[in-house]
A = this chain, B = another copy of it.
Amino acid sequence: MKELNQLFFPKSVALIGASPHEEKLGGIALRNLMGLKGNVYPVNPSYEEMLGQRCYPSISAVPGVVDLAVIMRPAVEVPAILAEHAGKARFVLIVSAGFAEVGAADLQDEIIRIGREGKLRLVGPNCLGIFNPYHRLDTMFLPHASQKRPRRGNVAVVSQSGAVMMCVLDAIRMANTGVSKAINYGNAADLDAPEVYEYLAGDDSTAVVVSYLESVGDGRRFLEAARYLSQRKPLLILKAGKGAGGRAAAFSHTGRLAGDYRVFHSLMNQFGLREVAGFDELLDAAKAVSYQRPAPGNRVCVITNGGGSGVLATDECSRQGLELPELPEVVRNLLRQDFPSFYTVANPIDLTGQVRIEDYRAALLAVRDAYDGFLVIALTGVAGVTLGLAEYLRTFKETVGKPLVVHIAQGGVAPRLIRLLEQAGIPVYRSPERAVRGLAALLDSRGGWHG
């Protein structure tokens, strides 16, 4: 799908409905587009100049053929505007809402027809479009003051919903990771998730794909593209519109039928595809796979300084299909010698509130060979948890090379400790269950992406 290179790395972009006013959506979008590594052409018949750029009355007046035109005009005007793009643009991204999602299926059919006749590839309508920090492409009508952009990174976002894309981008930024590409394709009148999946499978800057969808157009095409991608890199799918209410809401949102979720779910399983249960689960898993490479196996060791947190983690492991095998006898004997009698030498290993950070190191070294993945719980409310823990965990991660996640709640050294750990590529979570879900994303073998 090299064709999509033109969409994600356009040499030239026209903005139909550009505005000089920064409070208007066409003004916000223009400002965000101006950073592009390429030419930007504002189009608006009311202006000759805009932000120091020449402004064009219509796409016909723009020199040459643009790789991407972005339309931000009311839905009723879109058919006529789109018709002018034949021969003048390759991709046309229709931001405007007011098509199938509000019942105007005819209007949407009309733009599909006009697009086909004009040999135009359409993105949208009813979408935010594209964010590609490697090309400084940003079609989103969201002010930077309201929606900070994440830095460059290895997570691609493919979202039917603009709102969810916004939230995912923000969460990626807050998780100290970054984005390779993001696309919100809205009503999917033409470009749909499968084509983007195939493109991202071969995209070197993308290590993991996070995808939110409500509806699937051609089911077989979707499943095959998803399988193709997930055999190459982690693909995390959140399917919304699950119940009857959700399906109706999904239809009002993008004008496509969400289908029967049970059928979808069962097909996903058959195709070995990984689904996440909700928004938080999507972010937790995305964070984990953006930090570390998934690995096979499901045998986990938990090392904690809080008994209850260890019990909660154990419960979640069992829900996630992760096993917590007992400590091997030799490990148990070793740790029994080293540790005070009130530590629990089992799995979880409970170092209690009287922990010293050296105990974490001793425990990790003892169990390193016997397990596939590790969860370290460090409650920073107690006196013994200090910043030195970050160095132990960093060394462990670098030498052992198996999945390692950390749960830290808050308090004391927590903010600095979290920063140090995440700089070292160790994802930190605020609850035991979320940490286990992150670890599960790194250990699950169904996806096949680490095969």
Whether a CB of chain B sits under 8 angstroms from the CB of A254 is yes
Whether a CB of chain B sits under 8 angstroms from the CB of A163 is yes
**Smallest CB–CB gap between A359 and chain B, Å?**
14
The bracket for how many chain A residues form the interface is: 35 or more
**Smallest CB–CB gap between A146 and chain B, Å?**
3
> Once the chains bind, are A410 and B174 in contact (CB under 8 Å)?
yes
Which listed residue (B243, B280, B305, B306) contacts A164, Cβ 8 A?
A: B306
Alpha-carbon separation in the docked complex, A126 to B312 (Å): 18
Alpha-carbon separation in the docked complex, A280 to B382 (Å): 21
Alpha-carbon separation in the docked complex, A305 to B383 (Å): 45
**Smallest CB–CB gap between A200 and chain B, Å?**
20
> Once the chains bind, are A163 and B308 in contact (CB under 8 Å)?
yes
Whether a CB of chain B sits under 8 angstroms from the CB of A366 is no
Whether a CB of chain B sits under 8 angstroms from the CB of A423 is no
Whether a CB of chain B sits under 8 angstroms from the CB of A6 is no
Inter-chain contacts of A250 with B (CB < 8 A): 311
Whether a CB of chain B sits under 8 angstroms from the CB of A143 is yes
- Who on chain B is nearest to A148 by CB? B411
Known: A312-B240, A312-B278, A382-B146. A252 touches B344 (CB 8 A): yes
Inter-chain contacts of A381 with B (CB < 8 A): 142, 146-147, 166, 170
- Who on chain B is nearest to A75 by CB? B342
Instruction: Encode A260-301 as 1/0 by CB contact (under 8 A) with B.
Output: 000000000000000000111000000000000000000000
> Once the chains bind, are B342 and A102 in contact (CB under 8 Å)?
yes
Inter-chain contacts of A409 with B (CB < 8 A): 166-167, 170-171
Which listed residue (B161, B167, B343, B433) contacts A307, Cβ 8 A?
A: B161
Alpha-carbon separation in the docked complex, A309 to B383 (Å): 41
Which listed residue (B279, B310, B344) contacts A432, Cβ 8 A?
A: B279
**Smallest CB–CB gap between A213 and chain B, Å?**
9
- Who on chain B is nearest to A433 by CB? B278
Residue in A101, A147, A311 whose Cβ sees the most chain B Cβ within 10 Å: A311
23 interchain pairs, CB-CB under 8 A: A96-B342, A101-B342, A101-B344, A102-B344, A128-B353, A142-B382, A143-B383, A143-B412, A161-B307, A162-B306, A163-B305, A164-B308, A167-B431, A212-B308, A214-B311, A245-B315, A245-B324, A246-B315, A249-B314, A253-B308, A278-B431, A279-B433, A280-B434
> With A101-B307, A214-B311, A280-B431 given, can you name 4 additional A-B contacts, CB distance below 8 Å?
A142-B381, A146-B413, A242-B318, A249-B348
Chain A residues in the interface with B (C-beta under 8 A): 23, 25, 28, 75, 96-98, 101-102, 126, 128, 141-143, 145-148, 159-167, 170-171, 174, 212, 214, 240-246, 248-250, 252-254, 278-280, 304-312, 314-319, 323-324, 340-344, 346, 348, 350, 352-354, 377, 379-383, 385, 409-413, 431-434
